[in-house]
């Protein structure tokens, strides 16, 4: 059996395959980097068709990261999966909404998800953060409501929650606002997709490429 062992060579070949498969697709500035990174993370080329970018979403997110904005995740899995070296290079602070104090108590008292409660708690303090939602549709609904109430002004929301209950509707609601957003169509998405999108934006913010020799 013949296979590659060098990690750089493996990555370069992966992105070469991805770019060849994407020939003929048209993306806005920076959008192809995001699409490539998502496909690299999932081995799923259908994301070239189902990722959606609002106007200026990539440029707004990149500019925010270059300013050292705070990034807020909906889950600890997303929080754990983000490259700390890239964050440090830009002076970006990373928070997981679920770490907010009192989430469990309020969630039980109100009979709503911890994701919704925690995101509301953190977003009201971090009103100009870049929000990353890959798992919890209710967290995304909370952000949309806060925006409509004038309580947050995010430079970008990455809204790609996965699920059969509420995920499609939450992403539709986000796309119905003026918030710069990167989303997926339908119920598909997930934490790995959200993390891949953020990594692509971090590379763009640093002016670095991925998967090239």
Place of tokens 């977003």: 123
Contact 189, 161 (CB under 8 A): yes
SS3 95: strand
Catalytic residue among 25, 40, 199, 210: 40
- Nearest to residue 141, comparing CAs of 125, 117, 164, 124? 117
User: Residue 25 catalytic?
Assistant: no
Burial (CB count within 10 angstroms: exposed 0-12, middle 13-18, buried 19+), residue 70: middle
User: What phi and psi values does residue 131 have, to the nearest 5 degrees?
Assistant: -100, 140
A 10 A CB-CB count for 48 gives 17
Question: SS3 helix, strand, coil % of the chain, rounded to 5?
Answer: 55, 10, 35
Phi/psi class of residue 92: alpha, beta or left (left: φ > 0; alpha: ψ in -120 to 50)? beta
Enzyme catalytic residues: 40
């Amino acid at each position: 059996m013949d296979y590659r062992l060098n990690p750089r060579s493996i990555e370069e070949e992966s992105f070469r395959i991805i770019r060849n498969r994407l020939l003929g697709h048209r993306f806005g500035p920076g959008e192809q980097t995001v699409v490539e990174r998502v496909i690299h993370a999932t081995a799923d080329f259908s994301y070239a068709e189902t990722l959606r970018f609002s106007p200026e979403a990539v440029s707004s997110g990149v500019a925010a990261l270059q300013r050292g904005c705070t990034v807020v995740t909906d889950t600890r899995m997303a929080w754990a999966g983000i490259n700390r070296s890239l964050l440090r290079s830009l002076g970006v602070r990373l928070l997981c909404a679920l770490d907010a104090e009192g989430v469990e108590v309020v969630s039980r008292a109100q009979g709503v998800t911890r994701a919704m409660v925690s995101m509301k708690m953190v977003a009201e303090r971090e009103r100009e953060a870049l929000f990353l939602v890959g798992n919890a549709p209710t967290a995304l609904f909370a952000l949309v409501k806060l925006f409509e109430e004038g309580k947050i002004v995010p430079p970008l929301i990455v809204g790609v929650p996965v699920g059969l209950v509420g995920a499609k509707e939450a992403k539709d609601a986000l796309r119905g606002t003026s918030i710069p957003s990167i989303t997926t169509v339908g119920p598909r998405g997930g934490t790995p997709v959200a993390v891949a999108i953020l990594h692509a934006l971090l590379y763009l913010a640093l002016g670095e490429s991925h998967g090239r020799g």
